Structure 1
Amino acid sequence: MIAYVTVGADDIARAERFYSAFLTALGYRLEEYHGDLSYIPPVQPGQSQVSPDFYVKSPFNGGPATAGNGAMVAFEARSQSQVRDLHAAALAAGGSDEGQPGFRASYGSHFYVGYLRDPHGNKIALFCSNPDEPGRDG
């Protein structure tokens, strides 16, 4: 089980504006610790945490934060409309577009996804695969 995912940031305030634009809408709670950001996923009453925490931190070695080539973190939304709304909110909060929300021929017929880059270049996906919503072919 993955316990946490960390991305680097040189400007924590810009990173907080970007990530808070969509993670809080997905139920994540923001905690700050020593100037870094910890987004804690929602936990249903009576259940233990099953999703990983998401951390945004200044690099420990003091060097600049850089994005990993081929690295991406994906967050699941409840609906296709939420993917579109959160993608737009993240763009307005300083992100850049890496692929507008929609269906992709490479994935299943109900996999609806939008791609972003955070202000530091980290790639983020917002997706929904709700079988109760219209699919790519319907």
Structure 2
Amino acid sequence: MLHHISFGVSDLARSSAFYDAALAPLGYVRVFEHETAVGYGKEGGGDKLSLKLVSEFVLPGDGFHLAFAASAPDQVRAFHAAALLHGGRCNGAPGLQPHYGSHYFAAFVMDPDGYRIEAVINGATVS
């Protein structure tokens, strides 16, 4: 349904370094770069997440978060570790999240600006 989503960020260099590291284990890379914006997606494809430098921004409320698809639990763990090493804050350690489903394996972080993001795999092969 969605084509892409954009986040306004306070420091583009800091945010892009964070997303470079956090999204790499999930197979997402920078697909475009401009002095005021950076886009992420699959190699050779268009951007699905765009970071845009803004002078002021307001974080979405508690109900908003963005979940990135993973294909294996190790990717979720690597996403979480990389995010924490690059300025993210833990908002839920990697593991099964039975309150979301018996096969929902995810990790939750807050990026340097406070956006809530997640990496998740949800399938019968997860244990």
Same fold judged by TM-score > 0.5? yes
Asked if the contact 2:24/2:79 (under 8 Å) is kept, the reply is no
TM-score, length basis structure 2: 0.87
TM-score, length basis structure 1: 0.81
Gaps of 5+ in 2: none
Matched residue, 2:50: 55
Which protein shows a greater Rg?
1
Percent sequence identity is 32
- More divergent stretch after superposition (99-108 vs 8-17): 99-108
- CA–CA separation in structure 2 for the residues paired with 1:2 and 1:52: 11
Q: How many residues get paired?
A: 125
- Please show how residues 36-115 of structure 1 align to structure 2 within 5 Å: 36-42=37-43, 53-59=48-54, 62-63=55-56, 65-69=57-61, 70-115=63-108
Gaps of 5+ in 1: 44-48
Q: 1:108 to 1:3 in 2, by over 3 A?
A: same
Asked if the contact 1:12/1:56 (under 8 Å) is kept, the reply is yes
AA of the residue aligned to 2:7: V
* 1:113 CA displacement: 0.9
From the two aligned structures, give the one with the greater strand fraction.
Answer: 2
Whether 2:20 is the aligned partner of 1:28: answer no
After TM superposition, the runs of 4+ consecutive aligned structure 1 residues lying more than 6 A away are none
Q: 1:28 to 1:93 in 2, by over 3 A?
A: same
